[in-house]
Structure 1
Amino acid sequence: MMFVPFVAGMFFSRKREAIEILPKSVKTLWNKWELRSMVIFSLFLQSILMVLGKSRKRSRRNWVRVILWLAYLWADSIATASLGVLSSNQGESEGGFIDPNYVITVFWAPFLLLHLGGPDTITAYSLEDNELWLRHLLGLLVQVGGAIYVFLTAWTSTNALYIIAIPIFFSGIIKYGERTWVLRSASSEHFRDSMLPDPDSGPNYARFMEDYDSKKEEGFKVLSEKYPEPPVEEDHSNAVIENNGKIPEAPILSKANTFFKIFKKLPANLILSFHDIMKSRNFIQNSSFDEAFEVIEVELGFMYDVFYTKAVLVHSLIGCVLRLITFSCTIAVFVAFLMIEKHIYLRVDVTITYMLLVGAILLETYAVIALVCSERTILWLSKHGNLGYILYNVISLIPWPRKMRWSDAMGQYNLLSYCLKDKPAKCQIIQGMLCISELLEKYRYQNSKEVPPELKNLIFKELKQKCTNYSDLDPLKKLLTCRGKMVLEANEDSIGVIRRDDLDILKRSFEVEFDQSILLWHIATDLCYYSDHKRKNSFVEDGNCKASLLLSDYMLYLLVMCPFLLPNGIGEIRFKDTCAEACEFFKERKSITNGYQACAKLLEVNTEIPPLQVKGDRSKSVLFDACRLATSLKSLKDLYGNKKMWEFVGQVWVEMLSYAASHCGWSDHAQQLRRGGELLTHIWLLMAHFGLSEQFQISEGHARVKLTVQ
Structure 2
Amino acid sequence: MEKQGGQQAQENGTNIMHSLLRNPRLRVVSVEALVLLEIALLWFIAALGSFRRRSSSRCIRTLVWAIYTLIFLIFTYTIGFMQSSSVKNDLYPVWAVSFFAVLGCTNSITAFELDDNKQWMKLYIQLILYYMYVSVIFLHLSDAFLATSVTLLFTVTIYKNYMRIHACVLASESWYSSKLLADYMKHEADANESRYDPVSLAGYNYLVCWTGARIRSEPPCYRKQFIATENVITIEQIWHCDDRLMKSAAGARLKDVCLSFALFHLLRRRFFGFSCSESGLQKTHDFIFRGLLATEEEYDRAFRVIQVELSFLYDFFFTKYAVMYYRERMTFYLTIVSVTLTPLVILAVTHAHGIYHSSSNLTTVENKNADIVITVLNLASLALLDMLQLILYWLSDWGKVSLTCRYVSQLQRQNNKYMERMLAFLCEVRLVSSWQDKIGQYSLLESFQGNPYTRRLKSFTRWSNILYLQDQEKMGISMGLLLNNRKAGISTNVDAEVKKAIVQSLKASNGQLSNGLSSLVRNGLVEPFSWACRQETQTHTILIWHIATCYCEIAPPELSGSVEQVDVLIHHDVAMKLSRYCAYLVVFVPELLPNHQWDSKAIFDEVEKEASEFLRSVKTSKGKYQVMKNLGELEETIFVKGAKLGKQLENVRDYSARWKVIADFWSEMILFVAPSDNVRGHIERLTHGGEFITQLWALLTHAGIVEQNKGKQNV
Counterparts of 1:507 and 1:123, CA distance in 2: 49
Superposed counterparts of 1:133-148, under 5 Å: 133-148=120-135
Q: Which one of 253, 260, 268 corresponds to residue 257 of structure 2? A: 253
Match of 2:641 among 606, 609, 625: 625
1:167 aligned onto 2:152: yes
Map residues 238-387 of structure 1 onto 2, 5 A cutoff: 238-240=239-241, 242-246=246-250, 249-274=253-278, 277=284, 280-281=287-288, 282-286=290-294, 288-315=298-325, 316-338=328-350, 344-381=366-403, 384=407, 386-387=417-418
Instruction: Please list every run of 5 or more consecutive structure 2 residues that lacks an aligned counterpart in the other structure.
Output: 1-10, 184-214, 223-232, 355-364, 408-415, 465-478, 560-564, 709-715
Counterparts of 2:254 and 2:643, CA distance in 1: 51
Query: SS in structure 2 opposite 1:106?
Result: helix
User: 1:583 aligns to what SS in structure 2?
Assistant: helix
Tell me how far apart the structure 2 counterparts of residues 598 and 539 of structure 1 sit (CA, whole Å).
27
Is 2:689 the counterpart of 1:676? yes
- Of the structure 1 ranges 66-75 and 188-197, higher mean CA displacement relative to structure 2 is found in 188-197
CA distance in 2, matches of 1:517, 1:669: 22
Of 161-170 and 275-284, the range deviating more from structure 2: 275-284
Q: Which residue does the alignment assign to 2:52? A: 56
- 2:53–2:689 CA contact under 8 A, matched in 1: yes
> 1:629-680: CA deviations, max 9, x gaps?
2123234x23xx3333323322322332223321351111001111111101
Letter in 2 for 1:329: L
2-side partners of 1:601 and 1:204: how far apart? 66
Instruction: Give the C-alpha shift of residue 30 in structure 1.
Output: 5.2
Report the secondary structure of 2:274's partner residue: coil
1:36-47 to structure 2, matched below 5 A, reads 36-47=32-43
CA contact (8 A) 1:247 1:382 kept: no
| 1:463 alignment partner, one of 499, 506, 520 | 506
Alignment of 1:540-579 (within 5 A): 541-566=568-593, 567-568=595-596, 569-579=598-608
**For the residues of structure 1 that align with 2:447 and 2:440, how far apart are their CA atoms?**
15
The counterpart of 2:117, out of the listed 130, 142, 167, is 130
After superposition, the C-alpha distances for 1:264-320 in whole angstroms (9 at most, x for unaligned) are 322222222336725733532435211110100111111111111111122333332
1:236 matched to 2:237? The reply is yes
Structure 2: which amino acid aligns with 1:23? T
8 A contact 2:260–2:308 mirrored in 1: yes
1:618 corresponds in structure 2 to none
Q: What are the Cα deviations for residues 565-604 of structure 1, in whole angstroms up to 9, with x where unaligned?
A: 222153323323333332332345xxx4322431232112
Post-superposition offset of 1:80: 1.9
Query: Alpha-carbon deviations, 1:5-26, whole Å to 9, x = none?
Result: xxxxxxxxxxxxxxx9993444
The 5 Å alignment of 1:78-97 reads 78-89=74-85, 92=86
The aligned residue for residue 434 of structure 2 is: 405
Q: How far, CA to CA, are the matches of 1:570 and 1:658 in structure 2?
A: 21
Residue in 1 that maps onto 2:410:
none
CA contact (8 A) 1:164 1:337 kept: no
Query: Alpha-carbon deviation of 1:407?
Result: 0.7
One-letter amino acid matched to 2:40: F
Return the alpha-carbon distance in structure 2 between the equivalents of residues 300 and 178 of structure 1.
23
- Identify the residue that residue 645 of structure 1 maps to in structure 2: 658
Whole-angstrom CA distance in 2 between matches of 1:543 and 1:57: 29
Q: Which has the higher contact order (CA 8 A, sep 6+)?
A: 1
Pairing 1:602–2:628 present: yes
Q: Distance in 2 between matches of 1:463 and 1:136?
A: 45
Distance 1:110 1:129 in 2: 24
SS in 2 for 1:363: helix
- Provide closer, same or farther for how the CA distance between residues 603 and 409 of structure 1 changes in structure 2, counting only shifts above 3 A: same
Q: Contact 1:110–1:147 at 8 Å: present in 2 too?
A: yes
Cα 1:22/1:458, change in 2 over 3 Å = farther
Decide whether the 8 Å contact of 1:521 with 1:626 is kept in 2: yes
* Aligned mate of 1:483, from 515, 529, 534: 515
Change (3 A) 1:444 1:238: same
Q: Residues 30 and 364 of structure 1: is their aligned pair in 2 closer, same or farther, counting only changes over 3 Å?
A: farther
2:259–2:305 Cα contact (<8 Å) kept: yes
SS in 2 for 1:420: coil
| Inter-CA distance 397–548: structure 2 relative to 1 (3 Å threshold) | closer
- Cα distance in 1 for partners of 2:655, 2:91 equals 77
CA contact (8 A) 1:87 1:146 kept: yes
* 2:230 alignment partner in structure 1: none
Work out the CA distance in 1 between the residues paired with 2:481 and 2:220. 65
User: Is the 2:120–2:169 Cα contact (8 Å) retained in structure 1?
Assistant: yes
User: Amino acid of the residue matched to residue 530 of structure 1?
Assistant: I
Asked if 2 retains the 8 angstrom alpha-carbon contact of 1:540 and 1:546, the reply is no
Equivalence for 1:11: none
Which digits, 9 at most, give the CA deviation of each residue in 1:395-453, with x for residues without a partner? 6887xx6251101111111111112259999x99xx99x99999999454432111111
- How far apart in 1 are the matches of 2:482 and 2:115? 25
Q: Cα 1:234–1:254, aligned 2, differ >3 Å: closer, same or farther?
A: closer
1:178 correspondence with 2:178: no
User: Aligned-pair distance for 1:514?
Assistant: 1.8
Are the aligned partners of 2:481 and 2:601 in contact in 1 as well (CA < 8 Å)? no
- Cα distance in 2, alignment partners of residues 395 and 328 from structure 1: 26
- The CA deviation string for residues 123-179 of structure 1, in whole angstroms up to 9 with x for no partner, is 111111111111111111111122112212x143x4432222112201220111010
Pairing partner for 2:543 from 519, 535, 545: 519
Could you tell me which residue of structure 1 aligns to residue 194 of structure 2? none
User: How far off its partner does 1:203 sit?
Assistant: 6.4
Query: How far 1:189 moved relative to its partner?
Result: 5.8
Cα distance between partner residues in 1 of 2:19 and 2:492 = 54
Residues 464 and 690, structure 1, Cα contact 8 Å, conserved in 2: no
Paired position in structure 2 for 1:686: 699
CA contact (8 A) 1:522 1:552 kept: yes
TM norm structure 1: 0.76
When the two chains are superposed, the root-mean-square deviation of aligned CA atoms in Å is 3.8
Q: Distance in 1 between matches of 2:98 and 2:267?
A: 39
The worse-fitting range, judged by mean Cα deviation, of 178-187 and 595-604 is 595-604
Corresponding residue SS for 2:83: helix
Letter in structure 2 aligned against 1:283 = G
Q: Note if contact 2:146-2:345 (Cα within 8 Å) is conserved in structure 1.
A: no
Match of 1:391 among 422, 435, 438: 422
CA contact (8 A) 1:284 1:690 kept: no
User: Who is 1:472 aligned against?
Assistant: none
Deviations 1:295-348 (A, max 9, x none): 001111111111111111223333323333333333442354357678932334
- What is the alpha-carbon distance in structure 1 between the residues aligned to residue 370 and residue 171 of structure 2? 42
Separation in 1 of the partners of 2:310 and 2:446?
Answer: 33
Gaps of 5+ in 1: 1-19, 94-100, 206-231, 468-475, 613-620, 696-710
Q: Distance in 2 between matches of 1:440 and 1:271?
A: 35
Deviation at 1:510, TM superposition (A): 3.1
